[in-house]
Amino acid sequence: MNLPVKSKETNAEVQNLYSDAYDWTNQCVKCGYCLPACPTYESMGVESASPRGRINLVKMAAEGKIDFQKDLAQPIDLCLGCRACETACPVGVPYGHILEAAKEAIENSQPANQKNKMTKMKKLALVHLFPFPKRMNRVGSVVHLYQKTGLSKLIRRSNVLQKVSPALAHLEQALPTTESSSKRIRKGTIIPAKGETKLRVAFFTGCIMDSMMSRINRLTIELLTLVGCEVILPENQNCCGALHSHQGETKQAKELAKSNIRAFMQAEADVIVNNAGGCGASLLEYEHLLANEHEWSGAARDFSKKSKDISQILYQLGPLPFTEEWQGVVSYQDSCHLRNVQKVQQEPRSLLQSIPGISYVEMEGYDRCCASGGIYNLLHFDESMKILDEKMRNLKETKATTIVTVNPGCQMQMSIGIQREGAAANQIKSMHLVEILAKACGLD
Ligand code: SF4
Ligand code: SF4
């Protein structure tokens, strides 16, 4: 369907991209049930920071009543993309798809000479870094050297990053300890199951997970083999494209999706497993992303159907052979994209509760976004920290000594929250689900 009114500010391409989103906005009945679920509405308190408000603005922009850049860009940019509104919506408005279409339209409606420095840097990283595994791995090696040589300690002591950007300083401190690239399991490898083979699994290594958190990937593979999976690491797999979709770079997101579909379909695995909530949601939505490309839509559907989070497979093939008792209280922070897009909520909790000796306490607001939001915490540091500080107050109430997540961004955001809480809260550790399970199985 074409847009009913042509915006003076938009070109034909933008209008075209925007037409589906316009149809979706008309599904919203403005009931407001989504408002209490929205973290930015709660923290900012204005209609334009709510899902209903944003949907209405998208609709008005499509009708040419408001301007894409002046009126729509900021409210859309301040959305975390957590999609809690989708889970709360009684009529199933596909907010995530509206958001991505709006971002793409905003991106395309901005004249090149008006893009600011940050936008240009973002684009540079999205186009020239994330889609290139070798470049990402070089970044991982540089971070490893930076940490290993003690340079990171010097930089922290000098406080120089804090002066340049508090957001960057927080992020630097939250970086996980990066392993040497020699420990990374090479793509193309097949790792046999320990004991009887129950499932043939193709493992999606991710770009950040592969370059900066390869230890978690290695432990993921060990856990999978422990429950009877033969694990294949398909060659030529690439970044999932989540960051690209979230930043309006849909064309590149589609290219990445196609390259992953090609790489994984050759593996002929029973399932495709990932260990990052954000990536998993993106893999699950390849079906939607490529729905209009006839030569790809069938393969994309098959790919999405096979895509599973690590917690689903460990839960399905468990129980895990635990060897150690866990000391202390553990709480769990949902990854929004695992909860609201992949609809996985119970499996990570059941796995945690099955660890011997564990004391599991649910945190108030466990289902609310931690405000990591991809790179939201870098782009909107103050807004992000306001939401995070509230989460840390809730975490303290649980008296947890470990907070568990299933997404690298959430895990780092939890670490940032712990830093911000100061000395007393330094007793709290932020762990990936795989790390705690591996430790309880004596793998780490
Ligand atoms: S998005 Fe859904 S819950 Fe929110 S106002 Fe519209 S119809 Fe209601
Ligand atoms: S995605 Fe999250 S932040 Fe954005 S409107 Fe929906 S609930 Fe609010």
Please write the tens of the pLDDT for every residue from 144-167: 888 888 898 888 888 888 888 888
Atom nearest to 51 CA in ligand 2:
5
- Are both 185 and 300 inside the same structural domain? yes
Distance 48 CA to ligand 1 centre (A): 14
Q: Which two tokens stand for residue 135?
A: 């470049």
Tell me if 7 is assigned to some domain: no
Instruction: Give nearest CA residue, ligand 1 atom 2.
Output: 89
User: Same structural domain for residues 21 and 104?
Assistant: yes
Q: What is the mean pLDDT of each run of 10 residues along the chain (444 residues)?
A: 37 56 93 97 96 96 91 96 97 95 87 68 81 86 88 86 83 85 88 96 93 92 97 95 88 95 94 97 96 95 97 96 95 97 97 97 95 88 94 94 94 92 75 97 90
Residue bearing tokens 């509405």: 41
Nearest to residue 3, comparing CAs of 25, 33, 35, 28? 25
- Residue 182 has a pLDDT of 84
Residues 347 and 424 in one domain: yes
301: left (phi over 0), alpha (psi -120 to 50) or beta: alpha
Domain shared by 381 and 282, yes or no: no
Residue to mutate (ligand 2; options 40, 56, 72; most atoms within 8 A of CB) = 40
Q: Is the same domain home to 333 and 253? A: no
The CA 158 to ligand 2 mean position distance, Å, reads 37
Residue nearest to atom 8 of ligand 2 (CA): 38
Domain boundary among 97, 114, 131: 114
Residue 4 lies in a domain: no
Which of 44, 116, 111 is closest to 80 using CA atoms? 44
Q: Which residues line ligand 2 (CB under 6 A)?
A: 37-40, 51, 54, 79-85, 95
Residue 426 lies in a domain: yes
Of the residues 280, 314, 348, the one at which a domain ends: 314
CATH of the domain at 75: 1.10.1060.10
Sign of CA dihedral 131, 135, 139, 144: positive
For residue 91, the CA-to-ligand 1 centroid distance in Å is 7
- Quick one: which ligand is closest to 25's CA? 1
CA 25 / ligand 1 centre spacing (Å): 10
Question: How much distance in Å is there from the Cα of 367 to the middle of ligand 2?
Answer: 12
Among residues 292, 238, 291, the alpha carbon closest in space to that of 262 is found at 238
What is the 367 CA–ligand 1 centroid distance (Å)?
Answer: 18
> Do 320 and 227 form a contact (C-beta atoms < 8 A)?
yes
274: β partners: 309
The CA 45 to ligand 2 mean position distance, Å, reads: 13
Q: Which ligand does the CA of 96 lie closest to?
A: 2
Residues 349 and 390 in one domain: yes
Mark whether 133 and 45 lie in a shared domain: no
72 lies in the same domain as 189: no
Choose which residue among 26, 31, 97 to substitute to test ligand 1 binding: the one with the highest number of ligand atoms within 8 A of its C-beta: 31
Based on the domain organization, do 190 and 141 belong to the same domain?
no
Domain annotation covers residue 52? yes
**Under 8 Å CB-to-CB from 70, ≥6 apart: which residues?**
none
Q: Is residue 234 part of a domain?
A: yes
CATH number of the domain within which 255 lies: 3.40.50
| 211 within a domain of the structure (yes/no) | yes
How many domains does the chain fold into?
4
Is residue 1 a part of any domain in this protein? no
Angle between helices 408-421 and 166-174 in degrees, nearest 10: 110
Q: What is the pLDDT of residue 406?
A: 95
Q: Point out the ligand 1 atom lying closest to the alpha carbon of residue 33.
A: 3
* 394 and 360 fall within a common domain: yes
Q: Are residues 349 and 296 in the same domain?
A: no
Buried-state track 124-145, b at ≥16 Cβ within 10 A, e below 16: eebeeebbebeebbebbbebbe
Instruction: List 380's β-bridge partners, or say none.
Output: none
In a domain, 3, yes or no: no
Q: Where are the alpha helices (DSSP H) in 239-360?
A: 242-246, 250-265, 277-284, 286-289, 294-306, 310-317, 336, 346-353
Domain of residue 84: give its range. Answer: 12-114
Last residue of a domain, one of 314, 344, 376: 314
pTM for the model:
0.91
One domain, residues 149 and 246: no
